[in-house]
Structure 1
Amino acid sequence: MSAHLVLQNISYTTAEGRTLFESLDLSLDRMRTGLVGRNGAGKSTLLKLITGEYAMQSGAISQAGSLGVLRQAIQASDTRTIIDELDAAGAYQTIQRMISGTGTLADSAEADWTLESRLAEALEQVGLQGCDPMRNLSTLSGGQRTRVSLAALILKKPDIILLDEPTNNLDRDGRQAVVDFLAQWRGSALVVSHDRQVLRTMDRIVELSSLGLKAYGGNWDEYKQQKDKEVAVADHDLVVAQRNLAELARKARIVAERKARKDSAGKRSRAKAGLSKLILDAREDRAEKTTGRDRQLADRQRQKADLELQSAISKIEQIKPVSFDIGASKVPQGKTVLAFQNVTGGPDEQAPIIQRFSFTIEGGERVAVTGPNGSGKTTLLRLAIGELWPIAGRVHRSGPFAMLDQNVNLLDTEGTVLQSFKRLNPDSTDNDCRAALARFLFRADSALRPVSTLSGGEMLRAGLACVLGGNWPPDLLILDEPTNHLDLMSIAAIETALNAYDGAILTVSHDEDFLSEIGIGRRIALNEVV
């Protein structure tokens, strides 16, 4: 029997009473399926139902074949080793005893002489060739530990694999290891990811929303083409709905004007005709009944047209990336906004991670800082904004700048979005603040939402509103891994906002699609891990 995983009529409600999804059906055969959707839609919950980490509330899950799970975060204790994570410690120790000549008869019977070659092959496949299986996990970076988890899947060869955001917090090489692993995978796979490189290795994309699951054949690029067509259809439906409602309103005005003229003429003729009151009242009653029927028909048509308009607007809001109106930074092209002159620095003055580093950024330039985890990218940003002072050399900043880190720490988590905006833009009037936040989709009462209740994407959007929505946007915007933990809709919104901004950008990001979308023209490479 071929491996498969079938979900039937699955529903789940949180402890707080929020329904994540209802009556979901999904079938996984021998293909790679990417699961996408807004943060909070229930993607990770669905995976935890499959693995049994969460108890089923309704429906059924049937599975044929073995299941392997890539853990999102591996705990690195002082005693746990690579071979422990590969779940092969016992078999490995048996082989080592046999090699050293201390093995028993039981060891001889149980020894798997293919283990060492399979271990070496699995580690090589994920870029950890030559790595000692007894090496402690605490000596590895987060990206290297993820690679060890990938090696464990290769070693176990499960029929079905589940991966939940496998490239989160990985550097470029770590991401590439995940992409290569999935590109070569020939079994069943269900992968929750917002990484477009990962999604390009998929055979189909399944989208989870409040409406349920919707499958799209093909990988990310084909999914994107189909979504673009949906947006075009939704745009057309919105225009048609607006036109229909306007036409009904125009006809209603014409009918009302005709009735008013007819009523006025009727009153004049009634006064002149000299007919009995009984006859006149009967005529008036018939006219009112006809008018009432016409009015009811018009009301039904108007209600139908209004529902169609609201449906079209709702669909647009669900599938169309938002757009932003951002004021000009007024920074001249060619003006130096940031300069490093032979800068040496870092948190540890005895072993500075940045050494004798020089570069300049000019107005309008878009520059990415690249390099493996641990090479000093975030340290460079901290030096750029003055959070760290250089041990040697000089950092020169010209004009206003702003930085958004992964946690958007410039927002006050004790207050509202509006309060953060006012604090960061003290020269803006209340109307200016409201108007600016509305341009970033924090309209009316949503501007009064506590910052602590915002999702990751909403936090970053609020941060961008605060630094780009004021009367004087900064000359330089500095970003540290801005797309980490964001869903695809949020990433698209951030890319749109940054493309509307005309100042200089300095960003750290391992998301190649993001860097391409925002028009990065130059890279500062930190290639060595110190």
Structure 2
Amino acid sequence: MAHSSPAVVVDGLSYHLTDGTVILDGVSATFPVGMTGLIGPNGSGKSTLLRLISGELEPTAGQVRVSGSVHMVHQRLSTAGTVADLLGIAPARRALAAIEAGSVDQADFDAVGDDWDVDARAVAELAALGLDADPCFLDRDASTLSGGEATRIALAGARLARSEITLLDEPTNNLDTHMRRWLYDALDGWDGALIVVSHDRDLLERVDALVDLDPRGTVSFGGTFSQYRGHRATLQSAAERRLRDADAELDRAKRQAQAELQRQAQRDRSARKERALGNVSKGAVDFYQNRSEKKAGSKSQLHGQAIAEAGEARAEADAAARTADTIRIALPDTTVPAGKGVLRLELGGMRLDVVGPERIRLTGHNGTGKSTLLARILGAGSEPWRDAVLGDVSLDLPPSVPTGLLAQRLDELDGFGSAIEAVRDAAPQRTPHDARALLARFLIRGDRADQSPLTMSGGERFRVALARTLFADPAPQFLVLDEPTNNLDLASVEQLVEALDDYRGALLIVTHDEHLAADLRVTRRWHLSRGGATLSVEDETV
């Protein structure tokens, strides 16, 4: 299929909400044929930019130029209707049924277009994804699908659309490790242009180019994420050198101005002394004093200009060299002694123990019961139970081990009027001043701490939830993380790792992110897998 390049151009693009809130402001970028990763902080307008490219939204200012048809897969999928609706083939199927029933309406033939074999193609795509290949599956109620199934079906719909430009918004969020690998392979052979919003570092290592909606200015880069990080590190080093040079130049300009002031003061003292001794006539004194004042004023103006110019250069260098703030916190109250039993779990015929400050990763395909197991652990009693997926389960979590959960969804924050209230709800003994100081350490500063979490960006909401979890009363000595990075930008993922650097308790994390597991220094892995109706568990050292 022939394509022109670039496939998408945005020029001076802005988008404002009706209340005046600025989502995008003067964004310019090009998206070539091939796969382009679209990155940036939460709230930078990535999803909005996709919707502007797709034509769902109209820009406030600027232009979007596309070369070809566009198909978009949203992050939040609508599961109203059937599988065929989710695939996007329901109109063509209805038109085919009408034609087969005798319709000669041109609108029906237009709706079918070239898709006379749409059912067969849809079934083939679904089968390639490991989903039910029975044509009856196309009529299944989409609301009965799991998140992973809905995502896979929407991706199959994107392949069926055969558009020149495909837009994917966080396509790996609900996929397990196996399906993520399928997606990587599928995208490698995709026809046309792909624009993918993602924080999945493995996926971003497969892109041909990146567009970063950096708050300091949109950056386009030809290469993968690791290459981009290397490029940014080089720029950062250069910017820091310029900042050091600018500091030195500003200091030199100030020293010169001070030295000139001291020389002028010395000249003035000498002139006053000569006049007092009567060595110079009054007319001469007035002449020299006037000339000296003009000369001093001229020099002062020049030095002031030099200081101002050096200050401007220093400000520019400082802005270029500035990096994101980091989270550095001490968590001594989370300490678990090395030999202390934290959790005993019997599952799938195996006994699994957490002893001391271990860091364990729980993995398994979608549907193997990972989130169910976490929920039971956190709501645990010591009574055994039987689960349809997990089978016979028993566990023991001593009451002396306080637990904490950082979940995928942060809905619990929505009931609080401010971030301070959210923190004090988890730790009532903290004063408002204590809570404000704590939030500042999590980069929620000033008036932001008084705002409702509902009004915050995704990254800010996450940091409030993290502060609320880590500084709860009592402090968690067993911390459970359930896919914590699904809705986080790359900067927030780094902040999570920073915040947990000094965590001294036991950690159990469900994640498909290999990089996150490595960064958190996971030492063991529990893997759930199903063979028929049997669940097996693997316990291995990482």
Q: In the aligned structure 2, how far is the partner of 1:422 from the partner of 1:413?
A: 13
Q: 1:115 Cα shift?
A: 5.0
The residue number in structure 1 matching 2:343 is 339
Native 8 Å contact 1:339 1:397 kept in 2: no
2:371 pairs with one of 363, 366, 378 = 378
Native 8 Å contact 1:337 1:475 kept in 2: no
Q: 1:145 Cα shift?
A: 1.4
For structure 2, the residue ranges without an aligned partner over 5 or more in a row are: 385-393, 536-542
For structure 1, the residue ranges without an aligned partner over 5 or more in a row are: 343-353
Percent of aligned positions that are identical: 32
Native 8 Å contact 2:164 2:191 kept in 1: no
- The code of the aligned residue for 1:368 comes to R
1:482-521 alignment to 2 at 5 Å? 482-521=484-523
1:180-259 alignment to 2 at 5 Å? 180-259=185-264
Q: 1:204 Cα shift?
A: 0.3
Q: Do structure 1's residue 2 and structure 2's residue 3 form an aligned pair?
A: yes
SS in 1 for 2:213: strand
> TM-score with structure 1 length normalisation?
0.82
Q: Deviations over 1:430-483 (max 9, x none)?
A: 776555443333344444444333212112223334555799965443322221
Q: Deviations over 1:476-505 (max 9, x none)?
A: 433222212222222222222223544433
Q: In the aligned structure 2, how far is the partner of 1:86 from the partner of 1:429?
A: 53
Q: 1:146 Cα shift?
A: 1.3
Native 8 Å contact 2:126 2:153 kept in 1: yes
Q: 1:203 Cα shift?
A: 0.8
The residue number in structure 2 matching 1:345 is none
SS in 2 for 1:150: helix
Q: In the aligned structure 2, how far is the partner of 1:441 from the partner of 1:239?
A: 26
The residue number in structure 1 matching 2:14 is 11
Q: Do structure 1's residue 451 and structure 2's residue 456 form an aligned pair?
A: no
Q: Deviations over 1:295-323 (max 9, x none)?
A: 32232222233333333333344xx3432
1:41-440 alignment to 2 at 5 Å? 41-77=44-80, 80-88=81-89, 118-128=121-131, 130=133, 132=135, 133-134=137-138, 136=140, 137-317=142-322, 320-329=323-332, 331=335, 334-336=338-340, 338-342=342-346, 358-385=351-378, 387-392=379-384, 393=394, 394-396=396-398, 398-408=400-410, 413-421=415-423, 424=426, 435-440=437-442
Q: In the aligned structure 2, how far is the partner of 1:469 from the partner of 1:259?
A: 60
1:416 and 1:67, CA in 2 relative to 1: closer, same or farther beyond 3 A? closer
- The code of the aligned residue for 2:343 comes to A
1:442 pairs with one of 441, 444, 448 = 444
Q: 1:395 Cα shift?
A: 1.5
Native 8 Å contact 2:68 2:165 kept in 1: yes
Q: In the aligned structure 1, how far is the partner of 2:252 from the partner of 2:427?
A: 44
Deviates more, 1:28-37 or 1:127-136: 127-136
SS in 2 for 1:494: helix
Cα RMSD after superposing both structures: 3.8
Deviates more, 1:471-480 or 1:520-529: 471-480
1:29-44 alignment to 2 at 5 Å? 29-44=32-47
Q: In the aligned structure 2, how far is the partner of 1:339 from the partner of 1:224?
A: 39
SS in 2 for 1:527: strand
SS in 1 for 2:332: coil
Native 8 Å contact 2:38 2:210 kept in 1: yes
Deviates more, 1:167-176 or 1:406-415: 406-415
Aligned length: 509
Q: In the aligned structure 1, how far is the partner of 2:269 from the partner of 2:403?
A: 68
The residue number in structure 2 matching 1:349 is none
- The code of the aligned residue for 1:461 comes to R
Q: 1:265 Cα shift?
A: 4.5
1:419 and 1:276, CA in 2 relative to 1: closer, same or farther beyond 3 A? farther
Q: 1:212 Cα shift?
A: 4.6
Q: 1:161 Cα shift?
A: 0.9
Q: Deviations over 1:361-386 (max 9, x none)?
A: 3444322222234433333333444x
Deviates more, 1:469-478 or 1:160-169: 469-478
Native 8 Å contact 1:321 1:492 kept in 2: no
The residue number in structure 2 matching 1:346 is none
Q: Deviations over 1:391-444 (max 9, x none)?
A: 324222555543322345675853433454456556667776555443333344
